[in-house]
Amino acid sequence: MLHVIDHPVIKHKLTIMRKTITGTKDFRQNLDEIGSLMTYEITKNFPTRDVKITTPMGETIGKELDKDVVLVPILRAGLGMVSGIQQLIPTAKVGHVGLYRDEETLEPHFYYAKFPPNIANSTVLVVDPMLATGGSATAAIDYVKKTGATDIKLVCLVGVQEGIDAVEKAHPDVDIYLAAKDEYLNEIGYIVPGLGDAGDRIFGTK
């Protein structure tokens, strides 16, 4: 199922990120902040369990998140979303899937995967700012599923219908969260209006 998180502060920060004049430092900072705000929304129905605790005033029953959370950024640009999410879930472990998109064919090419040992029993958030053709997200989720993980969500900043359709077709069990659904993919596979090449803008490689 698709969830587009509708929040004025997210819209404001995303607008800053979209602007060409926004430099690497502000791009990363706003991505961090949106990552945190999205996480607040995404986690609102996460199950909790009771835990007996002692406060300075005596014993009571508190709540803990019932499942561990594993973040899986799709390298490189997904790395830019990790710290914002970890602000809210500092105990989250981090796996990685390395994929790059061939500029001509737009097909994803795999180069790396490493996952924490508890991933199969965790809630897994696969993160990447851009959901364009959906090829990278679909492939990353394929790799995550090979670990035995079944509770998987895809968290992106900006996506288009083509990418949403591709992920929903390949992985109908995976909820997709976006901060914005954009208009279309252009002839070279970039999201419009989008925000350009997310990896280059995060890491200053252009």
User: Which residues here bind ligand PRP, judged by CB under 6 A?
Assistant: 74-77, 100-101, 106, 108, 128-137, 163, 189, 198-199
Q: Which of residues 118-137 bind ligand URA (CB under 6 A)?
A: 130, 132
Distance CA 141, CA 97 (A): 9
Instruction: Verify binding: residue 162, ligand URA, rule CB under 6 A.
Output: no
What's the min distance (Å) between Cβ of 34 and ligand PRP?
Answer: 15
In whole angstroms, give the CA distance from residue 192 to residue 162: 12
Nearer to ligand URA among residue 87 and residue 100 (C-beta) = 100
Rounded to an integer, what distance in angstroms lies between the CA atom of residue 52 and that of residue 107?
50
In sequence order, which residues have a C-beta less than 8 Å from that of residue 42 and are 6 or more positions away?
Answer: 3, 5, 125, 153, 155, 177
Task: Report the nearest approach of ligand URA to the CB of residue 197 (Å).
Answer: 4
Is there binding between residue 75 and ligand URA (CB under 6 A)? no
Binds 190: which of ligand URA, ligand PRP, none (CB < 5-8 Å by kind): ligand URA
Give the number of other Cβ atoms within 10 Å of residue 47's Cβ. Answer: 9
58 in the Ramachandran plot: left (φ > 0), alpha (ψ -120 to 50) or beta? left
Residues 33-62 that bind ligand URA (CB under 6 A): none
